Amino acid sequence: MLQLPKRGWSKEVIERGLQENRSGDMPVHGGRVWAYVYPAGEEIEAIQKRAYLEFLSENALDPTVFPSLRKMENDVVAIALSHMNAPEGAAGNFTSGGTESCMLAVKTARDYARKVRGIAEPQIVVPVTAHAAFHKAAQYFDVELITVPVDEITFKVRPEAVEAVLTDRTALIVVSAPSYAHGVVDPVTEVAALAKARGILCHVDGCIGAWLLPFFEKLGAPVPAFDFRVDGVTSLSMDLHKYGFCPKGASVILYRSKDLRKFQVFSCAAWTGYSVVNPTMLSTKTGGPVAAAWATLHALGEEGYLEKAAMMREATQKLIAGIAEIPSLSVLGTPEMTLVAFSSTEVSPFFVIDAMKKRNWYIQPQFDGHGSRANIHLTITPQSLANVEPFLADLRAAVEEVRGRTFGPLVATLGAALDGVDPTTFGDEMLGQMLAMGGLSPDALPEEMADVNAILNSLPPALTEKLLATFVNDLFTPTA
Ligand SMILES: Cc1ncc(COP(=O)(O)O)c(C=O)c1O
């Protein structure tokens, strides 16, 4: 196993090593990766890096020792609350990302339900389109999760379907603005009204889009009501490290009132060390992300964000029109922002993804289920605009190239062998064998992933989850 070098490496050797380490990465800049990255542009990125490094070593654990970090957090949260039309008395915190913000909303709702409403075993109600972060929160915090189907044309949850599953144990209802998978906004007004009438909390997951939607509205896009102007919305999560174009590690969790936010705060004076009071999950944390977010918001300003929003809106409209012109392709639902899922009636999206990879584009697979066909997901950024034409040309060629292609024999064999098998009976060894059969080794993924995706797509989700967990458990193996 790798050991600490006896003698420290020189700056040059470290630099070389860092560059070698990233040799297999997809490029962040240039717009070839249609997921995960939201570059802010050269000038803004220089400002961000400077701000991040300036506060790299400060510790946000104790806001009385580093008041700068508390000030920047309060500034960022205030800007976010104003952007979401929050009322006087609203409050929030800066978090490490969307998952943390969503998890905190669930933890707050659980504790509010227990302490204020006397619900010993709270439930949360989430549409099947809500982000996996809510499933994670339910697991981590041992809260029962009730899923609600969505309309199979619009991919929005129906208020009647939500109403049908409410019980006297419902602590929280979640809606998305917009959802990641199909980029559509749930009927927030109707669902929040249902919640309010029953004393249930209502969380809007605006992690991916709440920051951008108001700019889209200013540009004339029809944006349904989703923020704190909607009666009954009690909390809202919004990532700054996505369409806020801040460096990663930047999200906010916002509450209608400080009284509600109180249920989020953890405080401990029952050990032998310093008193621990954490408003969010982490304790010790760098000041880099909050400083960089503070710098980005001020550097871009409303005009900067509007300019980016206009570029993305144009790119999205052109892409949607271009996809519709490619034989057999169609967009799922009606995207309301910059997230587009499309599928084909004739070819598997998994083959198209591989054919696009050969052309140096990374596009993301989404599996079928809940009325959604297996599809390809695009996250559009300002970089996308200059890439629309070459991307569409390659997409057209990729669809033609894979027409008539069929999956390898393993897909059918495994599909038949596993049909109806109880996933709980699969031990680690069997899961390992299955991964090996699919060519999934932690050292390198196969060049072509279509067969693997087809297998994962065809398995019961519980088995897919087990397989992926086994794979990731192997992926993080200490360096030899
Ligand atoms: C709607 C939504 N919620 C939550 C998250 C989780 O955010 P993160 O990846 O920052 O933890 C995402 C991520 O894409 C998202 O799209």
**Model pLDDT for residues 58-96, shown as the tens digit of each residue:** 999 999 999 999 999 999 999 999 999 999 999 999 999
Which amino acid appears at position 470 of this protein?
T
Q: Which atom of ligand 1 is nearest to the CA of 179?
A: 1
Instruction: Tell me, in angstroms, the distance from the centre of ligand 1 to residue 414's CA.
Output: 32
Whole-angstrom distance, CA of residue 348 vs CA of residue 338:
23
What is the whole-number distance in angstroms between the Cα of residue 305 and the centre of ligand 1? 20
Helix (H, G, I), strand (E, B) or coil at 362: strand
Q: How many CB atoms lie within 10 A of CB 70?
A: 16
The stretch 222-245 carries a mean pLDDT of: 98
Ligand 1 atom nearest to 100, measured from its CA? 11
CA distance 232 to 190: 9
pLDDT at 419 over 80: no
Question: At 54, which amino acid appears?
Answer: E
Residue 102 CA, closest ligand 1 atom number: 4
In degrees and rounded to multiples of 5, residue 33 shows phi and psi of: -105, 115
Tokens for 171? 């602590």
Distance CA(370)–CA(399), nearest Å, equals 25
Half-sphere exposure of 157 (CA within 13 A, CB side): 31
Query: Which mutation among 96, 99, 237, 381 tests ligand 1's pocket best, with the greatest number of atoms within 8 A of CB?
Result: 99
DSSP secondary structure of 206-223? -TTTTTTHHHHHHTT---
Q: Report the sign of the C-alpha dihedral through residues 102, 106, 109, 111, in that order.
A: negative
**Ligand 1: nearest atom to the Cα of 248:** 10
- Residue 443: what pLDDT? 78
Q: Which atom of ligand 1 is nearest to the CA of 239?
A: 10
User: By alpha-carbon position, which residue is closest to atom 4 of ligand 1?
Assistant: 98
For 267-284, write each residue's pLDDT tens digit.
999 999 999 999 999 999
The ligand 1 atom nearest the CA atom of 99: 11
pLDDT computed for residue 428 by the predictor: 84
Backbone angles phi, psi at 157, to 5 degrees: -75, 150
Q: Which residue's C-alpha comes closest to atom 7 of ligand 1?
A: 98
What average pLDDT does range 426-434 have in this prediction? 84
For tokens 């993301």, name the residue: 364
- Can you tell me which atom of ligand 1 is nearest the CA of 251? 10
Question: Quick check: 420 pLDDT over 80?
Answer: no
Q: How far apart are CA 415 and CA 395, in angstroms?
A: 29
Give residue 445's pLDDT: 82
Measured from CB, residues less than 6 Å from any atom of ligand 1 are: 97-99, 102, 131, 133, 176, 180, 205, 207-208, 239
Q: Which atom of ligand 1 is nearest to the CA of 97?
A: 10
The amino acid present at 108, given as its one-letter code, is T
CA distance 134 to 203: 11
Cα-to-centroid distance, 288 and ligand 1 (Å): 20
Alpha-carbon Rg for the chain in angstroms: 23
Q: Which among 38, 156, 207 is the best mutation to test ligand 1's pocket, defined by most ligand atoms within 8 Å of the CB?
A: 207
Measured in Å, residue 12 CA sits from the centre of ligand 1 at: 37
CA of residue 160 to ligand 1 center, whole Å:
26
Residue 157 scores a pLDDT above 80: yes
Lowest mean pLDDT among 3-7, 290-294, 373-377, 476-480: 476-480
How far is residue 102's CA from residue 125's CA, in Å, rounded to a whole number? 13
CA of 272 to the centre of ligand 1 (A): 37
387's tokens = 């890439």
**pLDDT value at residue 300:** 98
Beta strand segments in 110-227, E: 123-127, 144-148, 170-176, 201-205
Give the number of other CB atoms < 10 A from CB of residue 132.
10
Q: Which amino acid is at 463?
A: L
Residue 31: its pLDDT value, please? Answer: 98
pLDDT at residue 407 in the model: 95
CA 207 to ligand 1 center in whole angstroms: 6
Q: ∠335-241-101 over CA atoms, to 5°?
A: 90
Residue 417, pLDDT above cutoff 80:
no
Question: What domains lie within the chain, and their CATH numbers?
Answer: 51-266+278-296 (3.40.640.10), 409-475 (no CATH)
Residue count of the chain = 480
**Alpha carbon of 181 to ligand 1 centroid (Å):** 11
Lowest mean pLDDT among 24-28, 397-401, 436-440, 474-478: 436-440
**pLDDT at residue 425, as a whole number:** 85
Which atom belonging to ligand 1 lies closest to the Cα atom of 180? 16
Summary mean pLDDT of the chain: 96
Per-position DSSP letters for 404-472, written without gaps between them: T----HHHHHHHHHHTT--GGG--HHHHHHHHHHTT--SS---S--HHHHHHHHHS-HHHHHHHHHHHH
Full 3-state SS string of 224-236 = CCCCCCCCCCCEE
Task: Report pLDDT for 393.
Answer: 98
d(CA 68, CA 73): 9
Q: Give the Å distances, CA to CA, from 330 to 35, 98, 342, 373, 478.
A: 20, 29, 5, 11, 44
Predicted confidence (pLDDT) at residue 337 exceeds the cutoff of 80: yes
Tokens of 284: 């010790």
Structure tokens given for 344: 């084909």
Tell the residue nearest (CA) to atom 8 of ligand 1: 98
Task: Concatenate the DSSP letters of all residues of 22-45 into one string.
Answer: TTTSPPSSSS-B-SS-----HHHH
Going from the Cα of 246 to the center of ligand 1, the distance in angstroms, rounded, reads 14
pLDDT on residue 182:
98
Measured in Å, residue 132 CA sits from the centre of ligand 1 at 8
Q: Given a cut of 90, is residue 161 above it in pLDDT?
A: yes
Q: What is the pLDDT of residue 10?
A: 98
Look at residue 440 in the predicted model and tell me its pLDDT: 81
**pTM: predicted TM-score of the whole model, two decimal places:** 0.97
Q: How confident is the model at residue 446 (pLDDT cuts 50, 70, 90)?
A: confident
Q: What's the confidence (pLDDT) of residue 121?
A: 98
Distance CA 179, CA 181 (A): 6
Q: CA–CA distance from 218 to each of 223, 269, 348 (Å)?
A: 10, 48, 38
Work out whether strand 375-379 and strand 339-344 pair parallel, antiparallel, or are unpaired.
antiparallel
